[in-house]
Amino acid sequence: MKMNEEKPVAVLSRAEKDNIDLTRVGPGTVMGQLMRCYWIPAALSSELQAGGDPMRLVLLGERLVAFRSPDGSVGIMDHRCPHRNASLFYGRNEEGGLRCIYHGWQFDATGACVDMPNVPKQHACPEKVKSQGYATHEEKGLIWVYMGDPAKKPPLPHMEIADANPEDLEIEFLLRECNYLQALEGDIDTSHLGFLHVGHVEPEQLNESDLMRYVVGNRAPELEVSDAPWGTTYCAAKEAGDGKSYLRFANFLFPFWTQAPQGEFETNIFSRAWVPLDDTHTMSVTIRWKKRPPVFKKMKDGNDLPGIAPIQYAPRTTDWFGRWAPVQNPRNDYLIDRDAQRDGRIYSGILCVPMQDQAVTESMGEITDRSREHLVPSDVMIARTRRRLLQAARAYASTGELPPGVQDPSIYRNARGGETLVDKGKSWPEHYEAQLREATRIPA
């Protein structure tokens, strides 16, 4: 076989077949079918202006065009005009919809053709032509898209962050140049925190009240994992002395959401979607409650932890992947500072926590070869989540059994990630339930 040529399906190993089913998201794929059961956060409301420029958009391997008509309605459809396949990205955004500049055909926000001005009236048949348009929903600064069967359109996922007031939300988009799953798995991998992000920090540098002391005091957590109504949950436990345990809870939520333990459990109201643009590009969509305290506290000396910095975005372009791309990227080695790495100022040598994650997950390749992995007990959450995804996707493909959260989106409301200090004596599920009862909740 030639290099990079894919094997015929008949000769694939089980691991290779699993990896294909887990990572491919285009039309007709096992995972792509599952993803199309759900609403997908696709863009910020502010990215589309009424009567403004159309925007290129890639979702689940499909190249689309998004626009906001002069009346404010949002349309998302195949970027190819159904007449002769010219791109509607160059279209005129007019009253009534997007008009192709090739022959003037116009399409409303649903994708329906409403005008064929180059065809004599007696031959015009706009009612017989429709672009592949998708249902949209706009709420609290986000534009959502549903790409599945229109007759089976579900409700939006009801995570607790969805109940926050719009002014209390912070929404952050970030492009990642790799498959969605390896990006997602970084958020449910707890043991990397003590190395990649804070490997250069020691307990004595932190305040007594900072729970990060337990992360850097013991960098090898004990993990327990369980299936949950929304997907999977882990508890990472560490001895904290004086009859206490330090616990970190995190969740995977179908089909591509995570809740990492990035903050104290009581107030850590946030969710992150790892939206597959195609098989090799992912958009992370982070939705945070502004009222939660900072994840990384000041050190004893009053300074920020070294390596903490905001994301720097590259200038936006109109390319297919020109939205929300970071300045730090594989072409400039994420601006790694080898001196800072050598002298211990920043463990990774890379500034900005998200960029540290970006570097390692993108370095695995566009779609990582999981047959080369050697999983250990600290990877049990990753293994369980892969299995849960595969089982659900294959069940839906073979029997039509709907995956979790499609029919009952309320199951997401009891999912939360976070860190906490507890008295010993209870099982971790009991601690989780107790912490959830005592936590700050946003009323539904």
Domain-wise residue ranges, the chain = 39-152, 160-438
Among 135, 133, 151, smallest CA distance to 143 is for: 135
Return the number of other C-beta atoms located less than 10 Å from residue 95's C-beta.
10
Say if pTM beats, i.e. exceeds, 0.75.
yes
Q: What is the pLDDT of residue 3?
A: 45
According to the model, what pLDDT value does residue 12 have?
A: 85
What spatial distance separates the first Cα and last Cα of the chain, rounded to whole Å?
57
Write out pLDDT tens, residues 128-161: 999 999 999 999 999 999 999 999 999 999 999 9
pLDDT value at residue 442: 83
* Per-residue model confidence (pLDDT) at position 11: 80
Q: Which of 244, 189, 188, 256 is nearest to 214 (CA)?
A: 244
Supply 12's token pair.
Answer: 């694939």
What residues pair up with 172 in beta bridges, in sequence order? 286
- Within 8 A by CB and 6+ apart from 65, the residues are 54, 55, 56, 57, 76, 77, 78, 79, 87, 88, 89, 91, 98
Local confidence pLDDT in tens for the 444 residues of the chain: 444 556 665 688 888 999 999 999 999 999 999 999 999 999 999 999 999 999 999 999 999 999 999 999 999 999 999 999 999 999 999 999 999 999 999 999 999 999 999 999 999 999 999 999 999 999 999 999 999 999 999 999 999 998 899 999 999 999 999 999 999 999 999 999 999 999 999 999 999 999 999 999 999 999 999 999 999 999 999 999 999 999 999 999 999 999 999 899 999 999 999 999 999 999 999 999 999 888 899 999 999 999 999 999 999 999 999 999 999 999 999 999 999 999 999 999 999 999 999 999 999 999 999 999 999 999 999 999 999 999 999 999 999 999 999 999 999 999 999 999 999 989 999 999 999 999 988 876
Closest CA to 282 of 15, 41, 11: 41
160-438 under CATH 3.90.380, yes or no: yes
Superfamily holding 39-152: Rieske [2Fe-2S] iron-sulphur domain (2.102.10.10)
> Six-digit token pair at 25?
């998201």
> Residue 122 has what pLDDT?
93
- The alpha carbon dihedral of 287, 290, 295, 296 has a sign of positive
What pLDDT score was predicted for residue 133? 96
Q: Which tens digit of pLDDT belongs to each residue from 1-40?
A: 444 556 665 688 888 999 999 999 999 999 999 999 999 9
Question: Which pLDDT score is estimated for 80?
Answer: 98
